[in-house]
Amino acid sequence: MDRRHFIQSCSASAACLSASAATPVFAANAAAKPYARVLLTDERGDPLKASRLAAQTNYVFHYPFEATPVFLLNLGKAVAGQSLATKTSDSYAWPGGVGAAKSIVAFSAICAHHLVYPTKDVSFISFRKGAALNAKTPSVGNDLIHCCADHSQYDPAQGAKVLAGPASQPLCAVLLEHNAKDDTLTAYATLGGELFDDFFKKYEAKLSIDVGSKAKQMVQARAAVRELEKFCRNPVKC
């Protein structure tokens, strides 16, 4: 049984209760959308060790599609779950951080306003340690994901909830499973307001050049994690 069918059919059976030890518990109307189980790796293709993620540093991988970027962040502190809602008022229970310190989170790096996202050439959206420096639109807090396009600010410690700016919903969460035995991370689902259809529609021509025919292909098995500073030639800091 794949994960999608597992979640759809899982009731209070003994098997499900047992398996739920590694599975976050979602609210009744949650919108977790399972995709392929994908092991996160380093740039060489070796399994990434969660404990080696530098705190408050932007990392990027692609999931669930080859062209859709995700921010992976070790916030350096334990992060509790949070109740959130999409712009269509669908509520969901973001499960919080994973890893030994419950500090690791992941969110789609596609801004919920006008779909700005990090490319190899430039990134207008990123996590900012401390306060982002911007004379016109100051940070409303420290350690936020800031989109320089129109200054939406998201709090990754609150499930990427919108704290300021025109974005109408949190960044879509990417759910991770941490294997405590080998300290690896596996992405397995999204939770919240997906914007992938709009993203592919808006950037169809650009993605066909940048990523090619595999842009809409599902990532399978493994995804390489890179620091944003290495992935992107010009990470803009507003």
User: Which CB, 49 or 206, lies closer to ligand FES?
Assistant: 206
- Cα-based distances in Å from 54 to 21, 113, 227: 27, 28, 10
Q: Which of 150, 194, 227, 229 binds ligand FES (CB under 6 A)?
A: 150
User: Which CB, 33 or 114, lies closer to ligand FES?
Assistant: 114
User: Which CB, 147 or 174, lies closer to ligand FES?
Assistant: 147
For residues 86 and 193, is the Cβ–Cβ distance under 8 A? yes
Q: Which of 147, 162, 185, 187 binds ligand FES (CB under 6 A)?
A: 147
> By rule CB under 6 A, what count of residues binds ligand FES?
11
Instruction: Burial-class residue 182 by CB neighbours within 10 Å (0-12, 13-18, 19+).
Output: exposed
CA distance 28 to 8: 11
CA atoms within 13 A on the CB side of 67: 24
Contacts of ligand FES in 159-178 (CB under 6 A): 165-167
Residue 126 found at the interface with ligand FES (CB under 6 A): no
Question: Residue ranges of the alpha helices (H) in the chain?
Answer: 3-9, 14-19, 196-202, 204-210, 228-231
Q: What is the pairing mode between strands 221-224 and 33-41? A: parallel
Question: Residue ranges of the alpha helices (H) in 114-162?
Answer: none
User: Which CB, 150 or 227, lies closer to ligand FES?
Assistant: 150
User: Which CB, 72 or 167, lies closer to ligand FES?
Assistant: 167
Q: Examine residue 64 and say whether the peptide bond preceding it is cis (omega within 30 degrees of 0).
A: yes
User: Which CB, 98 or 109, lies closer to ligand FES?
Assistant: 109
95 to 114: interface string for ligand FES, x by CB under 6 A:
----------------x-xx
Q: Which of 152, 158, 186, 190 binds ligand FES (CB under 6 A)?
A: 152
Q: Which residues lie near ligand FES (CB under 6 A)?
A: 111, 113-114, 116, 147, 149-150, 152, 165-167
